[in-house]
Protein backbone atom coordinates (compact mmCIF):
# COMPACT_ATOMS: atom_id res chain seq x y z
CA UNK A 1 0.00 0.00 0.00
CA UNK A 2 1.09 3.52 -0.77
CA UNK A 3 1.74 5.94 2.06
CA UNK A 4 -0.49 8.41 0.22
CA UNK A 5 -3.64 9.16 2.27
CA UNK A 6 -6.19 8.65 -0.49
CA UNK A 7 -9.30 9.85 1.31
CA UNK A 8 -12.43 10.02 -0.80
CA UNK A 9 -14.89 12.87 -0.37
CA UNK A 10 -17.47 11.90 2.22
CA UNK A 11 -21.05 12.28 1.10
CA UNK A 12 -23.37 14.40 3.26
CA UNK A 13 -25.56 11.42 4.06
CA UNK A 14 -22.63 9.63 5.71
CA UNK A 15 -21.66 12.46 8.03
CA UNK A 16 -24.81 14.40 8.87
CA UNK A 17 -25.88 12.53 11.95
CA UNK A 18 -22.43 12.19 13.46
CA UNK A 19 -20.76 15.43 12.39
CA UNK A 20 -23.42 18.06 11.66
CA UNK A 21 -23.13 20.89 14.15
CA UNK A 22 -24.19 24.55 14.30
CA UNK A 23 -20.55 25.49 13.65
CA UNK A 24 -20.44 23.49 10.40
CA UNK A 25 -23.78 24.97 9.35
CA UNK A 26 -22.42 28.45 10.07
CA UNK A 27 -19.43 27.80 7.81
CA UNK A 28 -21.70 26.58 5.02
CA UNK A 29 -23.97 29.60 5.37
CA UNK A 30 -21.06 32.03 5.42
CA UNK A 31 -19.42 30.43 2.39
CA UNK A 32 -22.70 30.39 0.48
CA UNK A 33 -23.20 34.09 1.19
CA UNK A 34 -19.75 34.81 -0.22
CA UNK A 35 -20.40 32.71 -3.31
CA UNK A 36 -23.72 34.38 -4.07
CA UNK A 37 -22.17 37.84 -4.12
CA UNK A 38 -18.74 37.00 -5.55
CA UNK A 39 -17.70 37.65 -9.15
CA UNK A 40 -14.92 35.06 -8.95
CA UNK A 41 -15.11 31.38 -9.90
CA UNK A 42 -16.81 29.32 -7.21
CA UNK A 43 -13.95 26.84 -6.82
CA UNK A 44 -11.57 29.73 -6.20
CA UNK A 45 -13.86 31.23 -3.54
CA UNK A 46 -14.23 27.83 -1.85
CA UNK A 47 -10.48 27.20 -1.90
CA UNK A 48 -9.79 30.64 -0.42
CA UNK A 49 -12.36 30.07 2.31
CA UNK A 50 -10.88 26.73 3.31
CA UNK A 51 -7.38 28.22 3.38
CA UNK A 52 -8.68 30.77 5.87
CA UNK A 53 -10.36 28.05 7.98
CA UNK A 54 -7.82 25.29 8.34
CA UNK A 55 -9.61 24.07 11.45
CA UNK A 56 -12.11 22.33 9.17
CA UNK A 57 -11.25 18.70 8.60
CA UNK A 58 -11.61 16.82 5.32
CA UNK A 59 -15.10 15.49 6.05
CA UNK A 60 -16.30 18.89 7.25
CA UNK A 61 -14.98 20.58 4.12
CA UNK A 62 -16.67 17.97 1.98
CA UNK A 63 -19.99 18.55 3.71
CA UNK A 64 -19.73 22.34 3.40
CA UNK A 65 -18.66 22.21 -0.27
CA UNK A 66 -21.36 19.70 -1.21
CA UNK A 67 -24.03 21.77 0.55
CA UNK A 68 -23.16 25.08 -1.10
CA UNK A 69 -22.72 23.54 -4.55
CA UNK A 70 -26.13 21.89 -4.17
CA UNK A 71 -27.61 25.35 -3.68
CA UNK A 72 -25.76 26.71 -6.71
CA UNK A 73 -27.04 23.85 -8.87
CA UNK A 74 -30.64 24.01 -7.69
CA UNK A 75 -31.01 27.64 -6.70
CA UNK A 76 -34.12 28.39 -8.72
CA UNK A 77 -36.28 25.51 -7.46
CA UNK A 78 -34.93 26.05 -3.95
CA UNK A 79 -35.91 29.71 -4.21
CA UNK A 80 -39.47 28.58 -4.94
CA UNK A 81 -39.45 26.83 -1.55
CA UNK A 82 -38.25 29.90 0.36
CA UNK A 83 -41.66 31.56 0.72
CA UNK A 84 -40.46 34.97 -0.43
CA UNK A 85 -37.56 35.15 2.07
CA UNK A 86 -34.66 34.50 -0.25
CA UNK A 87 -31.63 34.36 2.04
CA UNK A 88 -28.54 32.20 2.00
CA UNK A 89 -29.74 30.67 5.27
CA UNK A 90 -33.12 29.61 3.87
CA UNK A 91 -31.59 28.34 0.62
CA UNK A 92 -29.16 26.24 2.61
CA UNK A 93 -31.81 24.85 4.95
CA UNK A 94 -34.05 23.99 2.00
CA UNK A 95 -31.16 22.22 0.26
CA UNK A 96 -30.27 20.19 3.34
CA UNK A 97 -33.86 19.20 4.09
CA UNK A 98 -35.35 18.79 0.62
CA UNK A 99 -32.42 17.61 -1.48
CA UNK A 100 -29.85 16.10 0.86
CA UNK A 101 -32.38 14.27 3.01
CA UNK A 102 -31.57 15.65 6.45
CA UNK A 103 -34.46 15.18 8.86
CA UNK A 104 -35.90 17.51 11.48
CA UNK A 105 -33.93 15.86 14.30
CA UNK A 106 -30.61 16.37 12.50
CA UNK A 107 -31.42 20.02 11.75
CA UNK A 108 -32.93 20.79 15.12
CA UNK A 109 -29.72 22.29 16.47
CA UNK A 110 -29.83 25.15 13.93
CA UNK A 111 -33.58 25.69 13.46
CA UNK A 112 -35.77 28.18 15.29
CA UNK A 113 -39.50 27.65 15.71
CA UNK A 114 -40.52 29.83 12.77
CA UNK A 115 -38.06 28.08 10.49
CA UNK A 116 -39.37 24.67 11.55
CA UNK A 117 -42.87 25.71 10.46
CA UNK A 118 -41.62 27.14 7.15
CA UNK A 119 -39.44 24.12 6.40
CA UNK A 120 -42.40 21.78 6.70
CA UNK A 121 -44.16 23.81 4.01
CA UNK A 122 -40.99 23.96 1.91
CA UNK A 123 -40.74 20.18 1.87
CA UNK A 124 -44.36 19.95 0.76
CA UNK A 125 -43.84 22.07 -2.37
CA UNK A 126 -44.62 20.02 -5.49
CA UNK A 127 -41.65 20.85 -7.67
CA UNK A 128 -43.14 18.83 -10.54
CA UNK A 129 -45.95 21.40 -10.77
CA UNK A 130 -43.63 24.40 -11.11
CA UNK A 131 -42.91 26.02 -14.53
CA UNK A 132 -40.33 24.07 -16.52
CA UNK A 133 -37.48 26.58 -16.22
CA UNK A 134 -37.90 26.75 -12.44
CA UNK A 135 -38.27 22.98 -12.10
CA UNK A 136 -35.10 22.46 -14.15
CA UNK A 137 -33.15 25.17 -12.31
CA UNK A 138 -32.42 27.26 -15.39
CA UNK A 139 -32.79 30.97 -16.12
CA UNK A 140 -35.68 31.58 -18.53
CA UNK A 141 -33.45 32.69 -21.42
CA UNK A 142 -31.27 29.56 -21.21
CA UNK A 143 -34.24 27.23 -20.97
CA UNK A 144 -35.72 28.89 -24.06
CA UNK A 145 -32.51 28.44 -26.07
CA UNK A 146 -32.05 24.81 -25.05
CA UNK A 147 -35.70 24.11 -25.89
CA UNK A 148 -35.04 25.38 -29.41
CA UNK A 149 -31.94 23.23 -29.84
CA UNK A 150 -32.96 19.93 -28.25
CA UNK A 151 -35.98 17.68 -28.59
CA UNK A 152 -38.58 18.05 -25.86
CA UNK A 153 -37.89 14.56 -24.49
CA UNK A 154 -34.17 15.29 -24.21
CA UNK A 155 -34.26 18.53 -22.22
CA UNK A 156 -34.89 16.93 -18.83
CA UNK A 157 -32.21 14.19 -19.16
CA UNK A 158 -29.73 16.81 -20.39
CA UNK A 159 -30.38 19.18 -17.51
CA UNK A 160 -30.42 16.32 -15.01
CA UNK A 161 -26.96 15.39 -16.28
CA UNK A 162 -25.75 18.98 -15.93
CA UNK A 163 -27.13 19.13 -12.38
CA UNK A 164 -25.07 16.14 -11.23
CA UNK A 165 -21.56 16.60 -9.78
CA UNK A 166 -18.88 15.72 -12.31
CA UNK A 167 -16.79 12.57 -11.76
CA UNK A 168 -13.05 12.87 -11.35
CA UNK A 169 -11.27 11.96 -14.59
CA UNK A 170 -7.53 11.52 -15.01
CA UNK A 171 -5.36 11.49 -18.11
CA UNK A 172 -2.36 9.19 -18.19
CA UNK A 173 0.84 10.83 -19.43
CA UNK A 174 1.89 8.32 -22.09
CA UNK A 175 5.47 9.58 -21.92
CA UNK A 176 5.76 8.23 -18.40
CA UNK A 177 3.35 5.36 -17.99
CA UNK A 178 0.65 3.20 -19.53
CA UNK A 179 -3.01 3.20 -18.55
CA UNK A 180 -3.04 -0.39 -17.32
CA UNK A 181 -0.01 0.28 -15.15
CA UNK A 182 -1.61 3.39 -13.64
CA UNK A 183 -4.89 1.58 -13.03
CA UNK A 184 -3.09 -1.19 -11.17
CA UNK A 185 -1.19 1.30 -9.02
CA UNK A 186 -4.31 3.31 -8.16
CA UNK A 187 -6.23 0.17 -7.20
CA UNK A 188 -3.30 -1.03 -5.11
CA UNK A 189 -3.47 2.31 -3.28
CA UNK A 190 -7.10 1.65 -2.43
CA UNK A 191 -8.74 3.82 -5.08
CA UNK A 192 -11.71 2.69 -7.16
CA UNK A 193 -10.61 3.36 -10.74
CA UNK A 194 -11.74 2.27 -14.18
CA UNK A 195 -10.79 3.01 -17.77
CA UNK A 196 -12.79 5.79 -19.38
CA UNK A 197 -15.30 4.80 -22.02
CA UNK A 198 -13.79 6.74 -24.92
CA UNK A 199 -10.40 8.29 -24.24
CA UNK A 200 -7.52 5.80 -24.65
CA UNK A 201 -5.66 7.68 -21.91
CA UNK A 202 -8.59 8.33 -19.57
CA UNK A 203 -9.26 6.94 -16.10
CA UNK A 204 -12.36 7.66 -14.02
CA UNK A 205 -12.21 7.55 -10.24
CA UNK A 206 -15.04 6.96 -7.80
CA UNK A 207 -15.48 9.77 -5.30
CA UNK A 208 -13.15 12.74 -5.00
CA UNK A 209 -9.87 11.42 -3.60
CA UNK A 210 -7.07 13.79 -2.65
CA UNK A 211 -4.42 13.38 -5.33
CA UNK A 212 -2.06 16.34 -5.04
CA UNK A 213 0.48 14.32 -3.04
CA UNK A 214 0.03 11.02 -4.81
CA UNK A 215 3.33 9.82 -6.34
CA UNK A 216 1.73 9.41 -9.79
CA UNK A 217 0.57 13.02 -9.73
CA UNK A 218 3.81 14.37 -8.28
CA UNK A 219 5.94 12.67 -10.96
CA UNK A 220 3.65 13.75 -13.81
CA UNK A 221 2.30 10.30 -14.70
CA UNK A 222 -1.27 11.55 -14.34
CA UNK A 223 -3.12 14.84 -14.78
CA UNK A 224 -6.70 15.73 -13.89
CA UNK A 225 -8.65 16.27 -17.11
CA UNK A 226 -12.26 15.58 -18.11
CA UNK A 227 -12.61 12.79 -20.65
CA UNK A 228 -14.36 15.14 -23.08
CA UNK A 229 -11.47 17.56 -22.95
CA UNK A 230 -9.09 14.71 -23.71
CA UNK A 231 -11.00 13.84 -26.89
CA UNK A 232 -10.27 17.30 -28.29
CA UNK A 233 -6.58 16.39 -28.39
CA UNK A 234 -7.30 13.22 -30.34
CA UNK A 235 -9.47 15.22 -32.73
CA UNK A 236 -6.52 17.52 -33.48
CA UNK A 237 -4.31 14.38 -33.76
CA UNK A 238 -0.86 16.04 -33.70
CA UNK A 239 2.12 14.03 -34.97
CA UNK A 240 5.77 13.82 -34.01
CA UNK A 241 7.91 16.56 -35.48
CA UNK A 242 5.02 18.84 -36.44
CA UNK A 243 4.50 22.52 -35.64
CA UNK A 244 1.36 22.83 -33.52
CA UNK A 245 -0.39 25.54 -31.51
CA UNK A 246 -2.81 25.51 -28.63
CA UNK A 247 -4.22 28.94 -29.43
CA UNK A 248 -6.05 29.58 -26.15
CA UNK A 249 -3.90 27.46 -23.87
CA UNK A 250 -5.02 28.71 -20.45
CA UNK A 251 -3.44 26.59 -17.72
CA UNK A 252 -2.38 24.08 -20.34
CA UNK A 253 -4.37 20.89 -19.74
CA UNK A 254 -4.83 20.26 -23.45
CA UNK A 255 -1.34 21.58 -24.23
CA UNK A 256 0.17 18.80 -22.13
CA UNK A 257 -1.93 16.20 -23.91
CA UNK A 258 -0.90 17.52 -27.33
CA UNK A 259 2.76 17.45 -26.32
CA UNK A 260 2.47 13.85 -25.14
CA UNK A 261 0.72 12.81 -28.38
CA UNK A 262 3.67 14.40 -30.22
CA UNK A 263 6.03 12.32 -28.03
CA UNK A 264 7.71 15.62 -27.10
CA UNK A 265 9.01 15.97 -30.67
CA UNK A 266 8.41 18.98 -32.89
CA UNK A 267 7.33 22.41 -31.65
CA UNK A 268 4.19 23.15 -29.64
CA UNK A 269 3.17 26.74 -28.95
CA UNK A 270 0.94 27.50 -25.95
CA UNK A 271 -0.58 30.92 -26.66
CA UNK A 272 -2.64 32.89 -24.18
CA UNK A 273 -3.34 36.53 -23.36
CA UNK A 274 -3.15 36.01 -19.58
CA UNK A 275 0.24 35.66 -17.93
CA UNK A 276 -1.28 34.21 -14.75
CA UNK A 277 -2.88 31.36 -16.69
CA UNK A 278 0.37 30.50 -18.42
CA UNK A 279 2.11 30.67 -15.03
CA UNK A 280 -0.11 27.79 -13.86
CA UNK A 281 1.17 25.76 -16.80
CA UNK A 282 4.80 25.94 -15.68
CA UNK A 283 4.71 23.49 -12.72
CA UNK A 284 2.54 21.10 -14.73
CA UNK A 285 4.98 21.32 -17.62
CA UNK A 286 7.89 20.58 -15.29
CA UNK A 287 6.15 17.41 -14.05
CA UNK A 288 5.17 16.28 -17.54
CA UNK A 289 8.68 15.68 -18.90
CA UNK A 290 7.83 17.55 -22.12
CA UNK A 291 10.55 19.56 -23.81
CA UNK A 292 8.73 20.74 -26.95
CA UNK A 293 6.27 23.19 -25.36
CA UNK A 294 6.82 26.92 -25.77
CA UNK A 295 4.44 29.09 -23.68
CA UNK A 296 3.93 32.50 -25.31
CA UNK A 297 1.90 35.37 -23.93
CA UNK A 298 0.21 37.40 -26.64
CA UNK A 299 -1.50 40.79 -26.44
CA UNK A 300 -4.43 39.65 -28.58
CA UNK A 301 -5.22 37.34 -31.47
CA UNK A 302 -3.67 40.00 -33.74
CA UNK A 303 -0.30 39.95 -31.97
CA UNK A 304 2.76 40.23 -34.21
CA UNK A 305 3.94 36.89 -32.78
CA UNK A 306 0.92 35.31 -34.44
CA UNK A 307 1.42 37.06 -37.76
CA UNK A 308 5.02 35.84 -37.98
CA UNK A 309 3.79 32.25 -37.97
CA UNK A 310 1.14 32.72 -40.66
CA UNK A 311 0.76 29.64 -42.85
CA UNK A 312 3.49 27.68 -41.05
CA UNK A 313 1.67 25.37 -38.62
CA UNK A 314 0.50 21.83 -39.22
CA UNK A 315 -2.27 21.88 -36.62
CA UNK A 316 -4.00 24.51 -34.49
CA UNK A 317 -6.43 23.96 -31.64
CA UNK A 318 -8.78 26.81 -30.75
CA UNK A 319 -10.45 26.04 -27.44
CA UNK A 320 -12.20 29.38 -27.52
CA UNK A 321 -13.26 31.49 -24.54
CA UNK A 322 -16.95 30.75 -24.10
CA UNK A 323 -19.90 30.84 -21.73
CA UNK A 324 -18.79 27.58 -20.09
CA UNK A 325 -22.40 26.39 -19.97
CA UNK A 326 -21.26 22.88 -20.84
CA UNK A 327 -19.35 22.68 -17.55
CA UNK A 328 -22.30 23.26 -15.22
CA UNK A 329 -21.55 19.97 -13.44
CA UNK A 330 -18.37 21.65 -12.18
CA UNK A 331 -19.32 25.32 -12.42
CA UNK A 332 -23.06 25.58 -11.69
CA UNK A 333 -22.77 29.28 -10.86
CA UNK A 334 -22.18 30.09 -14.55
CA UNK A 335 -25.84 29.65 -15.47
CA UNK A 336 -26.74 32.47 -13.09
CA UNK A 337 -23.93 34.78 -14.31
CA UNK A 338 -24.18 34.48 -18.07
CA UNK A 339 -26.77 36.49 -19.98
CA UNK A 340 -27.87 36.77 -23.61
CA UNK A 341 -25.73 39.93 -23.83
CA UNK A 342 -22.61 38.21 -22.48
CA UNK A 343 -23.08 35.30 -24.90
CA UNK A 344 -23.44 37.70 -27.83
CA UNK A 345 -20.23 39.44 -26.78
CA UNK A 346 -18.42 36.12 -26.54
CA UNK A 347 -19.66 35.04 -29.96
CA UNK A 348 -18.17 38.09 -31.63
CA UNK A 349 -14.86 37.42 -29.91
CA UNK A 350 -14.94 33.73 -30.86
CA UNK A 351 -15.32 34.60 -34.54
CA UNK A 352 -12.31 36.93 -34.40
CA UNK A 353 -10.17 34.37 -32.56
CA UNK A 354 -11.03 31.57 -34.99
CA UNK A 355 -10.18 33.71 -38.01
CA UNK A 356 -6.83 34.70 -36.48
CA UNK A 357 -5.95 31.12 -35.54
CA UNK A 358 -6.86 29.92 -39.03
CA UNK A 359 -4.21 32.20 -40.50
CA UNK A 360 -1.54 30.02 -38.86
CA UNK A 361 -2.60 26.82 -40.63
CA UNK A 362 -0.60 25.78 -43.66
CA UNK A 363 -2.03 24.13 -46.74
CA UNK A 364 -3.10 20.60 -45.83
CA UNK A 365 -3.09 21.43 -42.12
CA UNK A 366 -5.86 20.89 -39.58
CA UNK A 367 -7.80 23.45 -37.55
CA UNK A 368 -10.03 22.43 -34.61
CA UNK A 369 -12.49 24.90 -33.11
CA UNK A 370 -13.90 23.87 -29.74
CA UNK A 371 -15.93 25.22 -26.83
CA UNK A 372 -17.39 23.89 -23.62
CA UNK A 373 -20.72 25.52 -24.45
CA UNK A 374 -24.12 24.04 -25.22
CA UNK A 375 -25.26 26.96 -27.35
CA UNK A 376 -25.43 26.82 -31.15
CA UNK A 377 -24.66 30.56 -31.16
CA UNK A 378 -21.15 29.81 -29.86
CA UNK A 379 -20.69 26.61 -31.83
CA UNK A 380 -22.23 25.64 -35.16
CA UNK A 381 -23.09 29.24 -36.02
CA UNK A 382 -19.47 30.35 -35.55
CA UNK A 383 -18.13 27.52 -37.72
CA UNK A 384 -20.82 27.97 -40.37
CA UNK A 385 -19.99 31.67 -40.79
CA UNK A 386 -16.25 30.95 -40.75
CA UNK A 387 -16.54 28.37 -43.55
CA UNK A 388 -18.64 30.77 -45.63
CA UNK A 389 -15.95 33.43 -45.28
CA UNK A 390 -12.99 31.04 -45.69
CA UNK A 391 -13.79 28.61 -48.54
CA UNK A 392 -10.20 27.32 -48.40
CA UNK A 393 -11.22 25.34 -45.30
CA UNK A 394 -13.42 22.25 -45.44
CA UNK A 395 -15.18 20.43 -42.62
CA UNK A 396 -13.96 16.94 -41.70
CA UNK A 397 -15.92 14.22 -39.94
CA UNK A 398 -15.04 14.17 -36.25
CA UNK A 399 -16.46 10.68 -35.94
CA UNK A 400 -14.21 9.40 -38.73
CA UNK A 401 -11.09 11.07 -37.31
CA UNK A 402 -11.69 9.51 -33.90
CA UNK A 403 -12.73 6.18 -35.39
CA UNK A 404 -9.40 5.85 -37.18
CA UNK A 405 -7.76 6.09 -33.75
CA UNK A 406 -9.95 3.24 -32.41
CA UNK A 407 -12.18 5.68 -30.50
CA UNK A 408 -15.69 4.41 -31.17
CA UNK A 409 -18.11 7.22 -30.37
CA UNK A 410 -21.40 8.31 -31.88
CA UNK A 411 -20.76 12.04 -32.16
CA UNK A 412 -21.53 12.97 -35.77
CA UNK A 413 -19.61 15.10 -38.24
CA UNK A 414 -19.15 17.85 -35.68
CA UNK A 415 -18.31 16.58 -32.21
CA UNK A 416 -21.13 16.99 -29.70
CA UNK A 417 -20.52 15.58 -26.23
CA UNK A 418 -23.29 15.71 -23.64
CA UNK A 419 -23.31 14.51 -20.03
CA UNK A 420 -26.44 12.37 -20.29
CA UNK A 421 -25.23 10.67 -23.48
CA UNK A 422 -21.49 10.44 -23.01
CA UNK A 423 -20.86 10.97 -19.29
CA UNK A 424 -18.57 13.94 -20.00
CA UNK A 425 -18.85 17.69 -19.79
CA UNK A 426 -20.69 19.17 -22.76
CA UNK A 427 -18.18 19.94 -25.52
CA UNK A 428 -18.51 21.03 -29.10
CA UNK A 429 -15.75 20.75 -31.69
CA UNK A 430 -15.39 21.05 -35.44
CA UNK A 431 -12.34 19.78 -37.32
CA UNK A 432 -11.43 21.58 -40.54
CA UNK A 433 -8.60 21.18 -43.04
CA UNK A 434 -7.04 23.73 -45.33
CA UNK A 435 -7.34 22.56 -48.92
CA UNK A 436 -4.24 21.59 -50.81
CA UNK A 437 -3.60 24.08 -53.59
CA UNK A 438 -4.24 22.76 -57.05
Give the span between the Cα atoms of 171 and 204, in whole angstroms. 9
Calculate Rg over the CA atoms of the chain.
23
Between CA 169 and CA 225 the distance in angstroms is 6
The DSSP code sequence of 392-429 is TEEEE-HHHHHHTTT------SSEEE-HHHHSS--EEE
Alpha-carbon gap, residue 235 to 317, rounded angstroms: 9
Neighbours of 55 (CB within 10 A): 8
Measured distance CA(215)–CA(194) in Å, rounded: 19
Q: Is 372 a catalytic site residue?
A: yes
Q: Is 236 helix (H, G, I), strand (E, B) or coil?
A: helix
Contact 427, 326 (CB under 8 A): yes
**Distances 326 to 94, 322, 365, 417 between C-alpha atoms, Å:** 26, 10, 28, 9
124 CB-near residues (< 8 Å, 6+ apart): none
C-beta separation of 249 from 277 below 8 A: yes
End-to-end CA distance of the chain, in Å?
A: 62
Q: Are 406 and 200 in contact (CB under 8 A)?
A: yes
The active-site residue, picked from 248, 322, 372, 396, is: 372
Q: Angle of helix 58-73 relative to helix 22-37, nearest 10 degrees?
A: 50
Residues with Cβ within 8 Å of 314's Cβ and at least 6 positions away in sequence, in order, are: 238, 239, 242, 243, 244, 361, 362, 365, 366
| 114, containing H or E segment | helix 113-124
Q: Report helix, strand or coil for 12.
A: helix
CA distance 436 to 438: 6
Q: Mind giving me the DSSP string for 267-278?
A: EEEEEES-HHHH
Instruction: Indicate which residues carry an active-site annotation.
Output: 372
Amino acid sequence: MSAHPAVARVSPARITAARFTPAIFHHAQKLLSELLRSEFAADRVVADYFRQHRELGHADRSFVADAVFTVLRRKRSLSARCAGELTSRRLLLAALACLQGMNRRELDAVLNEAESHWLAHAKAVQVSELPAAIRLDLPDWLHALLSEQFAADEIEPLVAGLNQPAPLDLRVNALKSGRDEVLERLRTDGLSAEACRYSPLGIRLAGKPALSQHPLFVDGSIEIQDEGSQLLGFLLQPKRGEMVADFCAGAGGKTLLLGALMRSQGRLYAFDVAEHRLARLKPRLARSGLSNVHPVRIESERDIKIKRLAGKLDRVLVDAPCSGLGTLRRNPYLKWRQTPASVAELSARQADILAAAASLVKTGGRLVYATCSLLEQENEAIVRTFLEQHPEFVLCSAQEILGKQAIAIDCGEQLRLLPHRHGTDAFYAAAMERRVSE
